[in-house]
Amino acid sequence: MIGSVVCGVDGSRDSRLALRTATLLARRLGERLVVVHVVQRPVSGHTLGPAGGHPAPITSESALLASGQALIDKILEEEEIIGADGNAILGFPVETRVVLGFPAEGLADAADDEQAELIVVGSRGRGAFKAALLGSVSSDLIGIARCPVLVVPPGAAAAAAAAAVAVAVGDRSYAAGAHS
């Protein structure tokens, strides 16, 4: 099995930017792209909807997983990573996973399972005070991931972000935006 680039998505604009960056990096590195959505387990009668929106009533785990998969499929189609038939259109392997749990832990565990060389996530750009008070998936992930984590800043152009990042993978080093 070849390694992978794991990208966490939640439906937000920032996670879509991270997905575009992860797509460029996976293609450049010759790795599989694994798109992961983590659904938080229901707490106190409600669970968070897509992108942490309004609370949704608790449903079964299978319904939560199906809803997460539908979200990933919609994002991949809208971002033109897969076609309407569900097949990858970019010429390299694209896989999806939906996991139940807390976002940072779920992404770190998925990255381990997928032999990830890199995890790519978006940043909500909440600022230092709000992040310290509320916490941040990207900050938590950096602390627990067992591979490098790329946090794509808000407003960054995917091509510029990829071009500015040099990724060291194992004993190989790549400039993401450089041409071979």
Residue 147 counted as domain residue: yes
| Structural domain total, the chain | 1
Residue 180 counted as domain residue: no
Instruction: Determine the structural domain holding residue 167 and report its residue range.
Output: 4-175
| pTM of the predicted model as reported, rounded to 2 decimal places | 0.76
Residue 150 counted as domain residue: yes
Residue 126 counted as domain residue: yes
The tens-digit pLDDT sequence of the chain (180 residues) is 578 999 999 998 889 999 999 999 998 888 999 999 999 877 655 555 555 555 555 568 889 999 999 999 999 999 988 776 666 777 778 999 999 999 999 999 999 999 999 999 998 755 555 555 445 889 899 999 999 999 998 767 644 444 444 444 444 544 444 443
- What CATH number is attached to the domain comprising 141? 3.40.50.620
Q: Alpha-carbon distance 36 to 107, whole Å? A: 7
Residue 112 counted as domain residue: yes
Q: Alpha-carbon distance 93 to 89, whole Å? A: 9
User: Nearest Cα to 40, choosing from 28, 49, 53, 30?
Assistant: 49
